[in-house]
Structure 1
Amino acid sequence: MNTETQHKTATTLTQAKRLIVKVGSSLLMQGKDGTLNTAWMATLGEDLAAARARGQDVILVSSGAIALGRGCLGLSDAPLSLEQSQAAAAAGQISLAHAWQEALGPQGMTIAQILLTLEDTEQRRRYLNARSTLNALLDFGAVPVINENDTVATQEIRYGDNDRLAARVTSMVSGDCLVLLSDIDGLYSDADRIGDAEAHIAEIPDITQDVLAMAGENAGHFGSGGMKTKLEAARIATDAGASMILASGRDTHPIRNILDGNGKCTLFGTKASPRTARKDWIAASLHLGGYVHIDEGAVKALQDGKSLLPIGIKSVSGDFERGDCVAILGPDEVEIARGLVEHSSNSAINIIGKQTAEIVNELSYDGRTEMVHRDNLVMTQNRGGEYDA
């Protein structure tokens, strides 16, 4: 890796406002006896603490529950049935969460365990709830530790690897950089030349079919994700506006090693920021759930980059659910914006034109008081190359 690429990779990592780090099972487990490498975990905890000190939000996606559960339940190295995998996950997840608490706690970090299934990122309501919970935890200064909920996920509704789960989480929280720590130090032009410096690729600006063809299927003893899943994760993350770094985590302080240029890694670039990618998606939505009609004061608020509050809404039309994309129309019935609503059309009828305090009383909870949050809103009237909101 040349100096310029190393500097670019380090800058990408340190300037990410929201950093997601995924750790593979092969890094956590010591040999084949099913015990955790707690000393290594402690050094990663120090790296994550340094990221927090730089002002970065940190999310950790950790594999290892099933591998750890093998040891807890005395299971052999033979392939596990679905029921055995679910049982191993249930036993191992407790020990895994405790180990991360021991690794991150001394650095002043509070961890919060979240177990996700594929449906949590595919079904709209569950996606929004998971996103809201993750954002709330980050607002509280906690470090979410995420794993797939292998105890309830069946073969038909599971990720099967945490590479793609980490990428989906990155997209969900509008992350800026995803770091996949694995037992391989990046992408190679030929799967048969892993370790050959001349075949190593330090930077991938765009994931083309030629890049995808470089993937091999060499999952390790404990891990389930080969290079193919890592490239799929890279495509998900970069499409969402995040960069991705694929690096070896075999040595201690793996994040620090990336920053110091110790060893090789691969940087997958993105052409858009998470904010721009998300707003592009909203603006390009072909299916509108309905329309929200607002007054002149609300128009001015949106133009100033604020959220759409119910007090500025005159009426709603259409049948939409929370999370649907709606068109926002001004007093002249011309579309000025689009956004993802926080309330269904049925709920909206009860809160339009009301102050925030009234909404809390009406809905009996102190929660989502905006109709459309500014992060989920894009101005479409006279839209140019940059977004107004």
Structure 2
Amino acid sequence: MATLTPDLAAARRIVVKIGSALLVDRATGALRADWLHGLAADVAALRGRGTDVVLVSSGSIALGRGVLGLPSGGLPLEQSQAAASVGQIRLARAYEEALSPHGIVTGQVLVTLEDSADRRRYLNSRATMETLLSLGVTPIVNENDTVATDEIRYGDNDRLAAQVAVTVGADVLVLLSDVDGLYTGNPQVDPAATRLDRVERITPEIEAMAGEGTSGLSKGGMVTKLMAARVATEGGAAMAITLGAVDRPLAALAGGAPATWFAAQTDPKAARKKWIAAMKPMGSLVVDAGAEAALADGRSLLPAGVTAVEGRFGRGDPVTIRSASGAHLGAGLTRYTAAEARAILGRRSADIEAILGYKGRAALIHRDDMVT
């Protein structure tokens, strides 16, 4: 097989999605500990090469329902949330016990669809995961099933994983699945069906394959994976669908195991800059010459360099950045409201707590949330 691109071994940041069926034995409801320890060895190997890893994991409801003695099949929302509450503790403990022998610290991050739809929540979750990764922590992300209702659910962890990949700026997303990729036909009924090793772009023809259930999964299964692929690749991450039930699945993928790779349509930083630039600004910040030079040098915008605040905006809203002469210098997502920005403009970051009454962020607009 030709060398896969992107090369998993060379990835800077990887998001891996793990489904319930991989973690929990369907018949007994018990954790598949041996498989999880193999995955932990894969994560440790990637971390040893300097690669950040984020795990998006299902399994809390599956683990919790067994403890509570709930029946198999669909559950009422309240019972699902109760099962998630009980199972989430066990899921977090399982990952901690599997990864800690490798010297890896884990952190739990629970999200809902609202956290990505609302810019303020999105920025907060992004900052939290970036901080965890900078401290050497491996985040374990799951949907917050204990509070999410049907109206604010992702509904599947494929799409959640894609959104997490975009949020953290990953360059690879791996969906560990019960099938080794996307097929041209249903391999269970069509002996001529072949797996697509690589998809350069998701076309209507590709979507039609998934819509007909040609992956060998349920009809909805591959549809949601293609939805995830579109989000991930347009956000700058390549995506792979590969068989997850094997021992050491990430090592197998890196070694050329069967998979379908979806090519990234851009790089993560460029995708984020494009997203910010396309937003309608809610206000403006006027900066002095020192801040203008700092921005040109790729640095964040600090309150000390701001001379005027125009408009009404909230945290996470887009604003333009202008020079004293009115020249457009860029745009970004502000970490403070307009009222807060007016209170701290021209002041040092160390003064923020005394002025606002709480310890805020040092930057008014972080360089990662800015396009110039």
Per the normalisation by structure 1, the TM-score is 0.90
Q: Which residue of 2 aligns with 1:108?
A: 103
Q: Which residue of 1 aligns with 2:315?
A: 322
1:197 Cα deviation after fit: 8.1
1:236 Cα deviation after fit: 0.8
Structure 2 segments unaligned to the other structure (5+ residues): none
Taking a change above 3 Å as real, the CA distance of residues 271 and 340 of structure 1, as seen in their structure-2 partners, is: same
1:225 Cα deviation after fit: 6.3
* Distance (Å, rounded) in 2 between the aligned partners of 1:105 and 1:79: 34
Q: Which letter does structure 2 place at the counterpart of 1:332?
A: S
Q: Which letter does structure 2 place at the counterpart of 1:352?
A: L
* Distance (Å, rounded) in 2 between the aligned partners of 1:195 and 1:68: 36
Q: Which letter does structure 2 place at the counterpart of 1:177?
A: V
Partner-residue secondary structure (3-state), 2:41: helix
Q: Deviations over 1:270-312 (max 9, x none)?
A: 1211100000111222x11101111122111111111111111
Contact 2:162 2:232 in 1 (8 A): yes
Q: Which letter does structure 2 place at the counterpart of 1:283?
A: A
Contact 2:23 2:36 in 1 (8 A): yes
Q: Which residue of 2 aligns with 1:170?
A: 165
Contact 2:106 2:138 in 1 (8 A): yes
Identity of aligned residues (%): 47
Q: Which letter does structure 1 place at the counterpart of 2:354?
A: N
* Distance (Å, rounded) in 2 between the aligned partners of 1:195 and 1:218: 9
What pairs with 1:86-165 in structure 2 (closer than 5 Å)?
Answer: 86-165=81-160
Contact 1:293 1:316 in 2 (8 A): yes
Taking a change above 3 Å as real, the CA distance of residues 224 and 91 of structure 1, as seen in their structure-2 partners, is: farther
Task: Select 1:277's aligned residue among 271, 275, 282.
Answer: 271
Q: Which letter does structure 1 place at the counterpart of 2:149?
A: T
What pairs with 1:316-355 in structure 2 (closer than 5 Å)?
Answer: 316-355=309-348
Q: Which residue of 2 aligns with 1:235?
A: 230
Deviation >4 Å, runs of 4+: 192-198, 216-221
Q: Deviations over 1:191-241 (max 9, x none)?
A: 3558968510011111122111111559999x9961111111111111111
Structure 1 segments unaligned to the other structure (5+ residues): 380-389
Task: Select 1:246's aligned residue among 241, 244, 255.
Answer: 241
Partner-residue secondary structure (3-state), 1:266: strand
1:268 Cα deviation after fit: 0.7
Taking a change above 3 Å as real, the CA distance of residues 92 and 27 of structure 1, as seen in their structure-2 partners, is: same
* Distance (Å, rounded) in 1 between the aligned partners of 2:216 and 2:133: 32
Contact 2:62 2:87 in 1 (8 A): yes
Partner-residue secondary structure (3-state), 2:110: strand
Task: Select 2:199's aligned residue among 200, 204, 208.
Answer: 204
- Is residue 363 of structure 1 aligned with residue 356 of structure 2? yes
Contact 1:188 1:201 in 2 (8 A): yes
Contact 1:160 1:224 in 2 (8 A): no
* Distance (Å, rounded) in 1 between the aligned partners of 2:301 and 2:189: 52
Taking a change above 3 Å as real, the CA distance of residues 195 and 358 of structure 1, as seen in their structure-2 partners, is: farther
* Distance (Å, rounded) in 1 between the aligned partners of 2:207 and 2:160: 19
* Distance (Å, rounded) in 1 between the aligned partners of 2:95 and 2:63: 13
Taking a change above 3 Å as real, the CA distance of residues 254 and 155 of structure 1, as seen in their structure-2 partners, is: same
Partner-residue secondary structure (3-state), 2:209: coil
Contact 1:307 1:374 in 2 (8 A): yes
RMSD in angstroms over aligned alpha carbons?
2.1
Q: Deviations over 1:38-67 (max 9, x none)?
A: 001001001001111111111111111111
- Is residue 311 of structure 1 aligned with residue 304 of structure 2? yes
Task: Select 1:25's aligned residue among 4, 20, 23.
Answer: 20
Task: Select 1:85's aligned residue among 80, 87, 94.
Answer: 80
* Distance (Å, rounded) in 2 between the aligned partners of 1:167 and 1:183: 18
- Is residue 256 of structure 1 aligned with residue 251 of structure 2? yes
Q: Which letter does structure 2 place at the counterpart of 1:246?
A: I
* Distance (Å, rounded) in 1 between the aligned partners of 2:12 and 2:206: 28
Task: Select 2:294's aligned residue among 273, 276, 301.
Answer: 301
Taking a change above 3 Å as real, the CA distance of residues 182 and 197 of structure 1, as seen in their structure-2 partners, is: farther
Greater shift, 32-41 or 186-195, is seen at 186-195
